[in-house]
């Protein structure tokens, strides 16, 4: 007999989302959040932006976590987004540099439907859901963030990857003739690049996010759309995506190119394998006093470990 046991993070349909979040969203809608937030959404026509902001605010919570959420202020003021500067406070300070007008995403490579897509062509706004995930940065700090978005697989399915598609590569905005201020420094080889194996990209936990706390994605967090891969170090979760490419071979990735001994392609959170310059055994949860132990696969092992069966996990992949 098949008995379906409910996982700790699953919600039954009539369970209401975390009350605090729910109230914040209502308040946001009441304040005329759509008009207030539409500056985040110039990529879309007014009507589409209005629809997206509404759908983000109303997206049902499909995944909870029994850990305290970080505040909106923490999540949007302590960031890594090197295109907007290397300091944790630089991205919010320089957020206005990122112009999301007429945003489009170019899809290339091993798929049946390459082309240039607008946000609303990639993401069905009616399918948006909110999921609360841990995020663990390779620098050994972490947060708990309520993201709004869709499974990346719903986007990739539209492209119909062919049988040669083994990997998916992503790139962030980069205009060589008009770089963002952080891109004037050679700290990374721009554009920021990331990639996943196709099965990782298609995994139901992998998300393309367009909002946080029921609000459209702030620029400093990667507007208008960014990846969220919660079992990997945060640098895999590339922000402000402009390109998606399906390939036969493993794509080059920015941090791996910058420091191959320090940042592997897979970069699954692993407390057993230290960074050459610091321990990965524990982490500082932003807002907490004491360090906490880092969990294998950032606590998502039951869902993702089988993808790595037979793989040597003792090195810094
Ligand atoms: N994406 C781009 N394009 N540029 C970046 O510098 N930093 C990464 C990742 N995505 C980064 C990026 C790193 S190191 C982390 S930890 C997360 O974004 C941080 O996401 P957050 O600022 O929303 O918390």
Q: What angle do CA 219, 222, 225 make, to 5 degrees?
A: 115
Q: For residue 37, give the CATH number of its domain.
A: 3.90.420.10
Structural domain range at position 212: 30-308
- Angstrom distance (rounded) from CA 219 to CA 120: 18
Specify the pLDDT at position 31: 53
What is the number of structural domains in the chain?
1
Task: Tell me the pLDDT tens digit for each residue of 276-312.
Answer: 999 999 999 999 999 999 999 999 999 999 999 999 9
Closest residue by CA, ligand 1 atom 13? 235
- Angstrom distance (rounded) from CA 148 to CA 43: 18
Specify the pLDDT at position 314: 85
At residue 273, the 3 state secondary structure works out as coil
Q: For residue 91, give the nearest of 28, 176, 183 by alpha carbon.
A: 183
Is 236 part of a structural domain of the chain?
yes
137 CA from centroid of ligand 1 (Å)? 9
Is 11 part of a structural domain of the chain?
no
Count of residues making up the chain: 317
Handedness of CA 57, 236, 174, 123 (dihedral sign): negative
Is 144 part of a structural domain of the chain?
yes
**237 CB under 6 A from ligand 1?**
yes
Handedness of CA 220, 225, 16, 141 (dihedral sign): negative
Which atom of ligand 1 sits closest to the CA of residue 191? 3
Is 127 part of a structural domain of the chain?
yes
Is 123 part of a structural domain of the chain?
yes
220 CA from centroid of ligand 1 (Å)? 9
The string of DSSP codes covering 40-58 is G-TTS-HHHHHHHHHHHHH
Task: Tell me the pLDDT tens digit for each residue of 118-130.
Answer: 999 999 999 999 9
Which atom of ligand 1 sits closest to the CA of residue 173? 3
- Angstrom distance (rounded) from CA 311 to CA 315: 10
3 CA from centroid of ligand 1 (Å)? 40
State the pTM of this model.
Answer: 0.91
pLDDT of residue 244 exceeding 60, the answer is yes
Q: Give the torsion through C-alpha atoms of 150, 155, 158, 164, to 10 deg.
A: -140
Residues 6+ apart with CB under 8 A from 72: 24, 212, 213, 215
Task: Tell me the pLDDT tens digit for each residue of 192-239.
Answer: 999 999 999 999 999 999 999 999 999 999 999 999 999 999 999 999
171 CA from centroid of ligand 1 (Å)? 12
Question: What residues pair up with 212 in beta bridges, in sequence order?
Answer: 147, 215
CB 42 within 8 A of CB 100: yes
Closest residue by CA, ligand 1 atom 3? 239
């Amino acid at each position: 007999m098949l008995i379906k046991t409910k996982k700790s993070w699953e919600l039954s349909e009539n369970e209401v989302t975390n009350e605090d979040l729910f109230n914040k969203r209502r308040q946001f809608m009441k304040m005329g959040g759509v008009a207030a937030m539409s500056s985040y959404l110039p990529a879309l026509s007014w009507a589409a932006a209005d629809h997206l902001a509404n759908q983000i605010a109303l997206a049902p919570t499909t995944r909870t976590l029994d850990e305290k959420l970080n505040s909106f202020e923490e999540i949007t003021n302590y960031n890594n987004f090197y295109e907007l500067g290397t300091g944790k406070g630089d991205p919010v300070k320089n957020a206005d540099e990122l112009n999301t007008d007429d945003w489009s995403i170019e899809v290339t490579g091993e798929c049946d439907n390459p082309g240039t897509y607008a946000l609303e062509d990639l993401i069905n706004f009616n399918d948006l859901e909110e999921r609360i995930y841990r995020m663990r940065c390779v620098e050994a700090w972490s947060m708990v963030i309520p993201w709004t978005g869709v499974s990346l697989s719903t986007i990739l399915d539209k492209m119909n990857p062919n049988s040669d598609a083994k990997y998916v590569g992503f790139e962030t905005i980069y205009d060589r003739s008009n770089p963002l201020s952080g891109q004037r420094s050679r700290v990374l080889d721009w554009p920021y690049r990331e990639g996943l194996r196709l099965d990782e990209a298609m995994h139901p936990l992998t998300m393309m996010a367009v909002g946080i706390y029921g609000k459209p994605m702030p620029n400093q967090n990667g507007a208008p759309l960014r990846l969220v891969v919660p079992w990997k170090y945060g640098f895999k979760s590339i922000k402000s995506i402009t390109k998606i490419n399906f390939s036969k071979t493993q794509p080059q990735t920015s941090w791996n190119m910058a420091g191959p001994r320090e940042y592997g392609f897979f970069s699954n959170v692993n407390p057993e394998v230290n960074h050459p310059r610091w321990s990965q055994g524990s982490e500082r949860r932003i807002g907490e006093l004491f360090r906490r132990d880092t969990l294998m696969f950032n606590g998502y092992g039951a869902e993702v470990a089988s993808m790595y069966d037979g793989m040597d996990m003792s090195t810094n992949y």
